[in-house]
């Protein structure tokens, strides 16, 4: 990893204090990076800020940073060509969403045609964690600790009792970023609060949509896209864990040079493309997957998912245990993201279901239901391919297409039930029915005596 030391950055700030600050009013873009660096992420924050200033004065872009790394206040910076200007210190609210809204009110004073908000820190995807005082870790309900690597900060010791392979895995996960976890007061940005923040920014601060970059783990999810669609135009996010380095901010800042007409789609494509190039060089394991999503198409993707879910429910009712096994086998055949056992690439889910349905038809014959299901799966894949405008992936994840879905097999997390997506989709109904059916099958298996 490439870090920048504290003395070097302090030197930059001293030099920058004498540099006149020119804000581009009515600029083409204002980009603001909201950095939550209290969880042992401060050195990476300096590194990314150092990257940001490496652009020319020809760019009509305002680059702003709000950085929180200690105590109950944040520092605000203006990044100018080859310098960083410290502007002010602000006291934080205990509510993370309120802090994001306040940051965007500040950013809106740098008027621009387009706004890009990047949330920088840890992420758990669509599930909301809680802080376990006993273990002193952020955890999910029902022991679903697949996301633990998101906030790992230490490497296993030789006395850990783990295998060498597990120790190697933990060492790799210690480099990963983990939504916005404040280590100082143990608060987190929940998904409902993220929606509230984006709605307020859209309705009351900017008066229009903006581009959202999720520079954190597990952000490229259909559930996020659907919930944020009324307020955000494009979104970028990772399907897997992210290395701590995050985005290539130097390449992102330089994308605005001499290009006054750069569009929102071009910006998100640049984020994804440069992220892929950087990870190819620096991510040793190759477990990365990142995408840019046209959120305006999220409703169509969800509509096709609802059709598929309804047909799968009908299949369970009509065929029983064999169809439950079909769905389970399709899910098991999908790629695993980092330690994230509960999320799957939706396009790959569709592809695996198509394969299992074809096998089922060969064995049992085709029915109208199975024909409709295969057709719906194909259409669902096409809607995803249209919605995802760019994606990159590392070794072993070549078949993923940039949009994840929550797909557990044994328990549904209660926080998912509270999401707008969960409440408005047939998908949650399917998950509950699948979990119930699998539970009955497992119970029957235990109750059935073994043959002598």
- All domains of the chain in start order, with CATH: 6-125+181-295 (3.40.50.11970), 299-444 (no CATH)
Which residue's entry shows tokens 């870790």? Answer: 137
What single DSSP character describes residue 121? S
Distance CA 321, CA 318 (A): 10
State residue 255's pLDDT score. Answer: 85
Tokens of 399: 């078949």
State residue 180's pLDDT score. Answer: 61
One pLDDT digit (tens) per residue for the chain, 452 residues = 232 333 334 434 434 443 444 555 678 999 999 999 886 777 888 889 988 988 766 667 899 999 998 889 999 999 988 889 999 999 999 999 999 999 999 999 999 999 999 999 877 778 777 666 777 666 666 544 433 343 332 222 233 344 444 444 444 333 333 356 666 666 778 888 999 999 999 999 999 999 999 998 889 999 999 999 999 999 999 998 777 778 999 989 888 877 667 899 999 999 999 999 988 887 766 778 999 999 999 999 999 999 999 999 999 999 999 999 999 999 999 988 865 578 999 999 999 999 999 999 999 999 999 999 999 999 999 999 999 999 999 888 889 999 999 999 988 988 899 899 999 999 999 999 999 999 887 766 655 554 44
Question: What pTM, to 2 d.p., does this model score?
Answer: 0.85
What single DSSP character describes residue 18? T
Say how many residues make up the chain.
452
Rg from Cα positions in the chain: 23
State residue 441's pLDDT score. Answer: 76
Distance CA 407, CA 413 (A): 11
Distance CA 138, CA 148 (A): 7
Helices (H), 203-263: 222-228, 249-254
C-alpha dihedral (51, 53, 56, 57), degrees to nearest 10: 160
State residue 182's pLDDT score. Answer: 61
Helix, strand counts (H, E) of the chain: 15, 17
């Amino acid at each position: 990893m490439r870090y920048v030391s504290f003395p070097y950055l302090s030197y930059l700030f001293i030099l920058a204090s004498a540099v006149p600050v020119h804000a581009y009013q009515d600029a083409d873009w204002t980009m603001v990076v909201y950095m939550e660096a209290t969880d042992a992420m401060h050195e990476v924050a300096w590194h990314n800020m150092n990257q940001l200033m490496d652009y020319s004065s020809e760019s009509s872009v305002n680059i702003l940073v709000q950085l929180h790394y200690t105590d109950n206040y944040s520092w605000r910076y203006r990044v100018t060509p080859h310098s960083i200007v410290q502007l002010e210190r602000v006291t934080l609210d205990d509510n993370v969403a309120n802090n994001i809204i306040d940051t965007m009110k500040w950013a809106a004073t740098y008027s621009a045609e387009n706004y890009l908000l990047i949330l920088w820190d840890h992420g758990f995807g669509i599930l909301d964690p809680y802080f376990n005082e006993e273990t002193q870790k952020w955890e999910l309900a029902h022991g679903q600790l697949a996301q633990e690597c998101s906030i790992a900060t230490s490497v296993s010791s030789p006395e850990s009792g783990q295998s060498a392979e597990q120790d190697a895995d933990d060492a790799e996960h210690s480099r990963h970023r983990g939504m916005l976890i404040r280590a100082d007061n143990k608060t987190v940005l929940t998904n409902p609060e993220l929606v509230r923040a984006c709605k307020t920014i859209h309705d009351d601060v900017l008066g229009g949509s903006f581009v959202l970059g999720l520079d954190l783990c597990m952000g490229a999810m259909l559930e996020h896209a659907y919930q944020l669609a009324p307020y955000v135009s494009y979104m970028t996010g990772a399907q897997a864990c992210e290395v701590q380095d995050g985005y290539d901010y130097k390449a992102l800042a330089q994308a605005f040079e001499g290009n006054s007409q750069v569009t929102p789609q071009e910006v998100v494509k640049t984020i994804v493309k440069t992220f892929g190039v950087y990870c190819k060089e620096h991510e040793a394991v190759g477990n990365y997957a990142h995408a840019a999503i046209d959120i305006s198409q999220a409703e169509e993707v969800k509509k096709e998912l609802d059709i598929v879910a309804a047909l799968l429910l009908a299949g369970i009712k009509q065929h029983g245990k064999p169809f439950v096994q079909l769905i389970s086998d399709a899910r098991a055949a999908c790629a695993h993201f980092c330690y994230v056992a509960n999320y799957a690439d939706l396009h790959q889910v569709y592809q695996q279901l198509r394969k299992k349905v074809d096998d089922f038809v060969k064995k049992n014959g085709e029915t109208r239901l199975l024909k409709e299901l295969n057709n719906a799966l194909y259409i669902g894949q096409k809607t995803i391919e249209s919605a995802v405008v760019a994606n990159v992936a590392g070794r072993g994840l070549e078949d993923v297409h940039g949009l994840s879905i929550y797909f557990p097999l044994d328990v549904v997390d209660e926080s998912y039930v509270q999401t707008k997506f969960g409440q408005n989709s047939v998908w949650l109904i399917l998950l509950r029915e699948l979990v119930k059916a699998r539970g009955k099958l497992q119970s029957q298996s235990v109750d059935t005596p073994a043959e002598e």
